[in-house]
Amino acid sequence: MRVFGYIFLAQDKHHLVPEITQKQALWEYGRSLGLSVEEIIVEDAAPLKRPFKDRPAGSKLLQRCESGDTIIIMKAEWAIGSAGDGQRLLALLKSAQIAFYCIDLGGNISIPEKRRLMVSEGPAAVVEKLLAALTVSEISRHGQAIRTAKKHRKEMGKYLGGPVPFGWEVNREGYLVPNEEQQRIIGSIVDMRRDRWSYREISQKLKEEYKVRLSHEGVRRIFKSDRRD
């Protein structure tokens, strides 16, 4: 069984904890568990929000760890950027039987700890439940934010997204406005239909004259949706 220490050097100086301070904390905490930290991995070029497994040092550490190994970190927030990332990381560690100790939480958050011949939930179950609750909350807030934004845009008359209809474009303010060149093409489509051109004939004409590729079904939809007299 190997014991690794993980150091995270924050890019934000206000949250930066010196490397030597983190090393001393890892060594002391390891000794309190009766463990000796064999190797320390330093993460110094990854954003805090990047998932642990996608960071250069974090990915390297997970690849090196085997069942029964231990990872010690000073702060849980340095490994768990969001509830979803935290759940996925802990599920990975738990399935691989890798202990993940967070000094600030006072224990192993990936698998239950054995204490006095009894299995105790310890912080592992508490963190798991907390992350599950936070994930539901984040999804709910995200969905509500999207619905609110769409409602606001709709009330303002702005385009809500999706494929932009032929003949139109979205301006810088987010409104759907006529595309002059495409509107002229629509005018030609209407004129050809009045002259009893088939949709296939119109499609071929658009390709030859305007270099516009529209299927006969696309031409039909444009003609049916046009509201000009």
Q: Which pLDDT does position 118 carry in this prediction?
A: 40
Structure tokens at 56: 């250069």
- Write down the pLDDT at residue 107: 85
Q: Can you tell me the distance from the alpha carbon of 163 to that of 22, in angstroms, rounded to the nearest whole number?
A: 51
Q: What mean pLDDT do residues 105-132 have?
A: 63
Decide if 70 contacts 99 (C-beta within 8 A). Answer: yes
pLDDT digit string, tens, across residues 173-222: 788 788 999 999 999 999 999 899 999 999 998 998 888 888 989 888 88
What is the strand order of the sheet 70-73 is part of?
Answer: 39-43, 3-8, 70-73, 99-102, 107-108
The pLDDT, as a whole number, for residue 146 is: 56
pLDDT of residue 117: 41
Give the relative orientation of helices 180-194 and 199-209 as an angle to the nearest 10 degrees: 140
Report the distance separating Cα 50 and Cα 33, nearest Å: 29
Predicted confidence (pLDDT) per residue in 12-69, tens digit: 776 788 999 999 999 999 999 999 999 999 999 888 888 999 999 999 999 999 999 9
Tokens of 33: 């568990």
- Res 203: pLDDT: 92
> What average pLDDT does the segment 3-13 reach?
89
Sign of CA dihedral 169, 149, 85, 78: positive
Q: Which of 6-10, 18-22, 91-95, 156-160 comes out lowest in average pLDDT?
A: 156-160
12, 35, 39, 91 from 29: Cα distances, Å: 25, 8, 14, 24
Give the 3-state secondary structure of residue 110: coil
Residue 147 CB-half CA count within 13 A? 6
Enter the pTM of the model: 0.54
Mean predicted confidence (pLDDT) in 116-143 = 54
pLDDT, averaged across the chain: 82
Q: Is the pLDDT reported for residue 136 higher than 60?
A: no
Of the candidates 49, 98, 52, the one whose C-alpha atom is nearest the C-alpha of residue 109 is 98
Query: Is 177 in a helix, a strand, or coil?
Result: strand
Q: Which domains does the chain have, with CATH numbers?
A: 3-136 (3.40.50.1390), 168-225 (no CATH)
Q: CA nearest 21: which of 99, 103, 106?
A: 103
So what's the pLDDT on residue 135? Answer: 57
